[in-house]
Structure 1
């Protein structure tokens, strides 16, 4: 279990990060949504820290060229172990 960090806090920090990245690119929520084939409400909810799917988060990370960094973090944290597929 993680100590010192909550899911709520992480969601809010992620929401703020998405908002900062979007504004840095001078995009409205509508413009980002259109580029990602998502609804403006989906972007609004993500930026509000409301539940978002991994697909939505990954689309945003990919758009801002951060998906590889996230994948690298996952690899590092899992020790690149081979896990049995659950499918």
Structure 2
């Protein structure tokens, strides 16, 4: 798929977003990690676009008050597809 966005691109963009928000709030990686009860290495990995858990990502998103936005995007997408569950 030429010209399409891939997972690596999204992970790097999320990392850039996290770093930008962290710096905007005047936090070091260590300070953000302390607030979220995780290691500085975890924050560094996220900012570098490396593998992190969904839980880690959601904690960061929540900390920067973006969880409602993420939820609404997903909910809107689900609602617009009108797919009946198989379960």
Match in the other structure for 1:69: 69
Match in the other structure for 2:32: 32
In the comparison of the two structures, how many residue pairs are matched?
84
State the TM-score, normalizing by the size of structure 1. Answer: 0.87
Match in the other structure for 1:60: 60
Q: Deviations over 1:30-66 (max 9, x none)?
A: 0000000010000000000000111000000000000
Q: Which has the larger radius of gyration?
A: 2
Cα separation, 2, equivalents of 1:84 and 1:34 = 42
Cα separation, 2, equivalents of 1:60 and 1:7 = 19
State the TM-score, normalizing by the size of structure 2. Answer: 0.87
Extract structure 1 runs of 4+ deviating beyond 4 A.
80-85
Query: Residues 1-87 of structure 1 correspond to what in structure 2 (within 5 A)?
Result: 4-79=4-79, 83=85
